[in-house]
């Protein structure tokens, strides 16, 4: 009997942000390639698993933790955040208040989750619902690259779980180089989690 030489990696990634910003829809689009306009609020936490055949020798399992929007105000986030390797903080581009809450989510995350090397986890900011407008991004004169730098995000991306050419969640995928494996979400990002 021949032993399998395939390596398997499991990574826990958090998807957090205010209620109704589209966290569940982003995950469902990425994992199951579907979108439903019917909204049902997540209670507590929900999970999804995306299996990526990285290359002929590597399987990556992304465990996506969809944390309810109201959870930042409770004590359970410390438990939910434990052992995560990265995070996405999502806001709704049509609702400025959800963008204003982004820094509070980041502060909550950084206060409760530190990597073994003492650094905060890599966090990507997702500007969701771009198919419905870009009010937060255009009306407030926000310089998103500078905002990310000032607040400890490794980058940001416009996206839509429903559809938005060039930024659809369907573009979320893996990317790898010859020598290193990286998790890259979305495809165009320079933000990676090393495998």
What is the domain extent for residue 124? 7-164+182-191
Q: What is the pTM of this model?
A: 0.80
Task: Report how many domains make up the chain.
Answer: 1
Helix-, strand-, coil-residue percentages of the chain, each rounded to 5: 25, 30, 40
Q: Is residue 159 part of a domain?
A: yes
User: Are residues 65 and 89 in contact, defined by beta-carbon separation less than 8 angstroms?
Assistant: no
pLDDT of 167 strictly over 60: no
Q: Grade residue 140 by pLDDT with cuts at 50, 70 and 90.
A: low
171 within a domain of the structure (yes/no): no
pLDDT tens-digit map of 50-71: 998 888 899 989 999 999 887 6
Under the banding of pLDDT at 50, 70 and 90, the label for residue 40 is: confident
The mean-pLDDT minimum among 120-129, 152-161, 172-181 falls in 172-181
Identify the bridge partners of residue 127 per DSSP, sorted by sequence position: 91, 158
**Which CATH number covers residue 158?**
3.40.50.300
């Amino acid at each position: 009997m021949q032993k399998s030489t395939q390596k398997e990696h499991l990574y826990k990634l958090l998807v957090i942000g205010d209620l109704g910003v589209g966290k569940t829809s982003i995950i469902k689009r990425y994992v199951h390639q579907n979108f439903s306009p019917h909204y049902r609020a997540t209670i507590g936490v929900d999970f999804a698993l995306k299996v990526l055949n990285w290359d002929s020798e590597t399987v990556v399992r992304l465990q996506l933790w969809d944390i309810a929007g109201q959870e930042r105000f409770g004590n359970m986030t410390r438990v939910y955040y434990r052992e995560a390797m990265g995070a996405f903080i999502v806001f709704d581009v049509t609702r400025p208040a959800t963008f204003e809450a982004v820094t509070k989510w980041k502060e909550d995350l950084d206060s409760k989750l530190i990597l073994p090397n003492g650094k905060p986890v890599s966090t990507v900011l997702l500007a969701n619902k771009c198919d419905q407008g870009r009010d937060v991004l255009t009306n407030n004169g926000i310089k998103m690259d500078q905002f990310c730098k000032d607040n400890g995000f490794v980058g940001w991306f416009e996206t839509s779980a429903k559809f938005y050419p060039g930024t659809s969640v369907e573009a979320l995928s893996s990317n790898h180089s010859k020598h290193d494996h990286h998790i890259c979400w979305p495809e165009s990002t320079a933000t990676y989690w090393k495998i």
